[in-house]
Each structure stands twice: as structure tokens, then as C-alpha cells.
Amino acid sequence: MHTFVNYKGMEAGRILIIDDDPDVLLSARMLLEQLEYNVSMLSDPEKILPRLKKESFDVILLDMNFQRGHTEGREGISWLEKIKKEEADVVVILMTAFGDVDLAVKGIKAGAFDFILKPWQNAKLHASILSALKMKDTRQEKEKFRNVAATLGNDDDLPFGQILGESAIMQKLKETIRIIAPTDASVLILGENGTGKELVARAIHRHSQRKNETFMGVDMGAIPETLFESELFGHRKGAFTGAIKDKPGRFEMAEKGSLFLDEIANLPLTMQTKLLMVLEQRIIMRIGSEHSNPIDIRLISATNQPIHKMVESGEFRQDLLYRLNTIELVIPPLRERASDIPSLASHFLREASRKYGRPRLEIGKKGMKQLQQYSWPGNVRELQNTIQRAVIMSEEKHLRFDQLGASTTRSANQPGLNIEENEKFLISKALLSNRGNVSQAASDLGIDRNALYRRMKKYGI
């Protein structure tokens, strides 16, 4: 006996049934309401478009013949085209009592999701609806991330978004991006915390052949080991406790686009093995599924850890590193390109002034000198946060940055007795001594990585 499970879980899918046979309408409604779907019915196809202007549906079950004696399905195809024109996102399943391969092909070409023969088998109809709902969920997830990517990708009119700086080392980095972006080579981005690794990844995507597809970012260090496979590869409903519905993984949502794996060096060895298998075979399998799916993504990874030393010490798999770093980019810390500080600071000032409605503020000579003398352990992100905080707090035309104090690379003098000033000083010093390696800095400070990240965010480092 077939056991029915409602895919939508707590939120039932909205289904519209369109058929001129009252027995068909009643039979379909009884089945689907038993499965806890929200069901609406129409017997007159002329009422379809007015109904779609008022309501939205997840799935439409559409008969193909409404006039007596008609079996060729032209009416159904015509109404299908009108429905898709009115609401392109709705999923349509065609129904007919006259099975014909050519008719099914015409329906699929016109935009139908599936083709069901009447009288149907309940299990088969339900399976078709489940598949339709899953496809729509996956499509909506991809569209959502595609829109986010498009929005973030159009931050400004600069060729490389907010990758700012005209120093020789940054010019070389931009030229390298320009060369490698059109290829499909895997890229590993190395750089200290706050240097802009994600901006570089987005720039590679925007200049690639996949620029009109999804850019999907994943913080590998933030995924608990128990959820790793589910987050990356997806799961089927019921695969484990809490899996109340089918869920696509990040690989699926990045299909045809770029997948950015940030903080890749934080991945435990057991998870490195699973990721390596996926990258070698180019297929994924959702947890709880018996079927594998091929993947087509451009892989971009990043880390602030000394990943090559981690390979030598056995903390990171060498064969996985080979899969990640066909091309390797190193983003320089801000202290190694101090000549870029004036242009960066001016850009962040314009941004913050617009955001907080303070257009007349300036960075005077003294303020710029303070910025250039500081060593920026938090790199560009710290500079941006420092400018923003100064704009908010300033009571004068010229911004002051006295809170920065002397550069931690030029002075070992501790700040005063203020607890927060001392904490920020120690964090900056630990990051500098470990060249931006957050894990090693946290170890030196006697706290865990997450605690250090929270404090860095608090102090704008």
C-alpha cells in the first residue's frame, strides 16, 4: 500500500485543477485534500486568467480537451501558453484521457512540466506533483541567490567592483583576474582576514562565462560537521531528524554558476575526503537519495590560513589542495600597499557620508597621517569600519582617528587602563604577529576562533 507524504510539510502547496468533468474535479480534490494540499477547482477554462490575476498557485493540473469530440489537445496547449505568459513561474501538469506521444512532446515543448493520463494512478499523480513542487522550490532558491548576486555584483561602475587601489601590486592582481576569469579553472585565494577575498571571488565570477548565473558563497568554517553534507549536497525529506522537506544543497543552487568556498582550510579531514570525492567525480547525491546528479560549477576557494604548511603537517589533504588551486591568487595585506590608503579612505568616506547624511566631512592632513601610520591588522575591512565610525561620531569638519593610537608595528606601548582599548590592542597585536591567521591569533589569546571573530567585529578589525 502506498503511503503518501506531503512534500510541503507545514506549508501546503497551492494547487489549481482545471477540468470540465465534475467527476475528475471531485476525485482529484478528494485525493489532494487528503494529502493536505490547498486545492482550488475550475470547470471553465475561460476563468483561468482572471483567477491567476487574483491568486498564485504552485501547480496547475490542466485538462487538454474541453469540447466534446476533441481529442487532439490543441485547447490544452493553447491554454498552457496563455497560463505561462500570465505567470511564468507556475508549474503545469497536463491531463488527458487520450494518450499520444506526439501530444506529450508538444505539451512539454510548450512549457508543461509533466503529462498524466486519465484515469490516473494516485501514486503517480502524487509523485508528479511532488516533483513539480521540488523543482519550483529549487528554481526559486536559485533565482533568489541569482538576484542577490546580481545586486551585489553591481555595487558600482568600477571594472572590479570595490577592489580599490592603484599600487603596483594591486594592478598586477587585477590583471591576473582579467586573464583567469574567462577560464573555468579552479581558483584558490589566499590572504589575511579583511583583505577582500570575497570581493576578488565575485570579480572573477562577474568576468567569467558564468556571469549571468548564480554566485553562491559558503563559509566552510561556519558549517557544523554534522550539517556539512546537508548544506553542501542537500537532503531528502525524512533523511534525518528535522529534515521536514527536501532541500537542495549549495552545489545544486550554484549549478551553471560559481561556488565560493570561504575559509576552506577550516574543513575537518573527514569532510575534506567527502569534498574531494565530489570534485573528482563531479557528481553529488543528496542525503537519503539513491540517485546521483552531475554538477557543473566553477569552484573558487579562499582561506587566511597557511594552507601549504597545513599540507606539510597533515592537517590538509594535498590531493584536495591540487583540486582547489589550479590558479592561486595572493591578496596583499594593507600594510604592504600603504600607498592605496588615501584612495581607499576617500572612497569609504564618500560611502559613509551618503549613508549617514553627512556630506561635508573631510579627512584632513592630520587624519590621513594617522591612517597611514597605523598598521591595519584587520586590513581593508578595519579601515572601512574605522572611517564609518569616525563619520558617525565626528563633531568637526575634519575627521580624527585618535583611537588608533600609534601603529602596533612601530610601538609596543600599551594603551591606557581602558579595558576595551587594551583588548583591541592585544587582538591587533596577536593578528599582526600571526600575519592575520585568526586561528593562531585566537590560540595565542587563549580564546576560540568564534570568540575572536565576535571581538574583531565589535572593534571593527
Task: Based on the fold, state whether residues 259 and 159 are members of the same structural domain.
Answer: yes
Rounded to whole angstroms, the Cα distance separating 14 from 129 reads: 11
Residue 5 has pLDDT above 50, yes or no: no
201: in domain: yes
Q: Which amino acid, residue 440?
A: Q
Task: Based on the fold, state whether residues 453 and 343 are members of the same structural domain.
Answer: yes
Residue whose grid cell is 599600487: 167
Rounded to whole angstroms, the Cα distance separating 238 from 345 reads: 52
Looking at residue 74, what is its pLDDT?
76
Rounded to whole angstroms, the Cα distance separating 121 from 431 reads: 65
CA atoms within 13 A on the CB side of 123: 3
Rounded to whole angstroms, the Cα distance separating 165 from 340 reads: 5
Q: Which amino acid, residue 398?
A: H
Q: How confident is the model at residue 188 (pLDDT cuts 50, 70, 90)?
A: very high
Q: CB-based burial of residue 88 (10 Å sphere; 0-12 exposed, 13-18 middle, 19+ buried)? A: exposed
Total domains in the fold of the chain: 3
What percent of the chain is modeled with pLDDT above 70?
86
Mean pLDDT (the chain) is: 82
Quote the domain boundaries for residue 404.
Answer: 337-459
Residue 457 three-state SS: helix
Q: How confident is the model at residue 186 (pLDDT cuts 50, 70, 90)?
A: very high
Task: Based on the fold, state whether residues 302 and 425 are members of the same structural domain.
Answer: no
Task: Based on the fold, state whether residues 183 and 299 are members of the same structural domain.
Answer: yes
Task: Based on the fold, state whether residues 325 and 381 are members of the same structural domain.
Answer: no
149: in domain: no
Task: Based on the fold, state whether residues 298 and 359 are members of the same structural domain.
Answer: no
233: in domain: yes
Q: How confident is the model at residue 145 (pLDDT cuts 50, 70, 90)?
A: low
Q: How confident is the model at residue 153 (pLDDT cuts 50, 70, 90)?
A: very low
Q: How confident is the model at residue 190 (pLDDT cuts 50, 70, 90)?
A: very high
Task: Based on the fold, state whether residues 40 and 175 are members of the same structural domain.
Answer: no
Task: Based on the fold, state whether residues 355 and 321 are members of the same structural domain.
Answer: no
**Last residue of some domain: 299, 332, 365?**
332
Q: How confident is the model at residue 144 (pLDDT cuts 50, 70, 90)?
A: low
Task: Based on the fold, state whether residues 167 and 304 are members of the same structural domain.
Answer: yes
Average pLDDT over residues 397-413: 61
415: in domain: yes
318: in domain: yes
CATH number of the domain within which 275 lies: 3.40.50.300
446: in domain: yes
Q: How confident is the model at residue 2 (pLDDT cuts 50, 70, 90)?
A: very low
Task: Based on the fold, state whether residues 297 and 167 are members of the same structural domain.
Answer: yes
**Last residue of some domain: 136, 163, 190?**
136
- Phi, psi values for residue 429, rounded to 5°: -65, -40
Looking at residue 236, what is its pLDDT?
86
Decide the pairing of beta strands 258-262 and 114-117.
unpaired
Distance between the two ends of the chain, CA-based, in angstroms? 61
**Last residue of some domain: 285, 312, 332?**
332
- pLDDT, tens digit (0-9, with 9 covering 90-100), for 55-82: 878 899 988 887 665 556 678 888 888 8
Residue 273 has pLDDT above 90, yes or no: yes
Residue 419 three-state SS: helix
7: in domain: no
**Omega within 30 of 0 (cis) for the link into 342:** no
Range scoring the smallest mean pLDDT among 184-188, 199-203, 236-240, 333-337? 236-240
CATH number of the domain within which 438 lies: 1.10.8.60
75: in domain: yes
Task: Based on the fold, state whether residues 100 and 213 are members of the same structural domain.
Answer: no
Of 409 and 162, which is predicted with more confidence?
162
Task: Based on the fold, state whether residues 281 and 169 are members of the same structural domain.
Answer: yes
Looking at residue 350, what is its pLDDT?
92
- pLDDT, tens digit (0-9, with 9 covering 90-100), for 301-347: 999 999 999 999 999 999 999 999 999 999 999 999 999 999 999 99
**Long-range residue pairs from 78-83, CB within 8 A, at least 24 positions apart, any chain:** 79/18, 79/45, 79/48, 80/107, 80/110, 80/111, 80/112, 81/110, 81/111, 82/48, 82/49, 83/48, 83/49, 83/52
Q: What is the DSSP letter of 31?
A: H
- pLDDT, tens digit (0-9, with 9 covering 90-100), for 98-120: 666 667 677 777 788 888 888 88
H/E stretch holding 24 reads helix 22-34
Residue 159 has pLDDT above 60, yes or no: no
Range scoring the smallest mean pLDDT among 270-284, 327-341, 393-407, 411-425? 411-425
Residue 16 has pLDDT above 80, yes or no: yes
Looking at residue 407, what is its pLDDT?
42
Residue 147 has pLDDT above 60, yes or no: no
